[in-house]
Structure 1
């Protein structure tokens, strides 16, 4: 009986460890209630900037990121033309963009960033998209990606 109990404890400890995803050390996901005040402020900024990107689906107008909002790499990759093309594609496929629903924050311990996962809500029920906004330690966007929705972080 003691051996079984010890084995269960070891398995429980092992399952709580941080995991590696794509060679990066990923911590346990954090919900809204578990966030620090800094993370909550960063989440709100990620929400606003992510929503600004997806609102292009409705308006076809995109206000480019400033140096205080995003890294140089993100600014270079999120040109008005690219964002409009993606917005037009999503608008045709999923309808008008409505809002973002915050799901979780996943800390990336390798490069000291936080990945904020949002479920993008569109007019059509078949729209099942995720928006990931990665914020660095300087409170700037270091990556913005959209993916098909999956309940588990991958």
Structure 2
């Protein structure tokens, strides 16, 4: 009976995936500034249309191969839906480094038109390289992004 109870408890716990949230105050100001500056710099290029190819020194190979046409298209969609980018506020950091992945910074974005709250999500690997950035509608509960 104990074994059956233990198996049921284990099954119940494995059904719901939880994500470890990092205490924002435990993250260095330097790291927070680095992520904020990266996100703001990319979103600001949507205003100026002065796109710069990302360096493999700063980002992973997948992000470095992002074409200027792809960046233009993403900005066109963002501008059409939300208007120009104004600023972003850090809400939480999901620490997924225990699986070898990255920290996920979740920001609420402020745009000219805020018909709905926008999330700007930025992935930072343990080696300090940026792994990705996306923007989408904000959900209070963290839901992993699936391509």
Map 1:25-64 onto structure 2 (within 5 A): 26-27=19-20, 29-33=21-25, 35-37=26-28, 40-64=29-53
- Unpaired runs of at least 5, structure 2: 1-12
1:69 aligns with 2:61: no
Give the corresponding residue for 1:129: 118
Kindly report structure 1 stretches of 4+ aligned residues shifted beyond 4 Å: none
Q: Deviations over 1:75-117 (max 9, x none)?
A: 11x2211111111221122111101111111100212411111
| Equivalent pair of 1:60/1:88 in contact (CA under 8 Å) | no
Aligned residues: 129
**Aligned with 1:55: secondary structure?**
helix
TM-score, length of structure 2 as denominator length: 0.77
CA offsets 1:30-77 (integer angstroms, 9 cap, x no match): 3432x232xx3222211111112211321122222212210101111x
Q: Is 2:108 the partner of 1:110?
A: no
Distance (whole Å) between structure 1 residues aligned to residue 46 and residue 23 of structure 2:
28
Cα separation, 2, equivalents of 1:127 and 1:81:
27
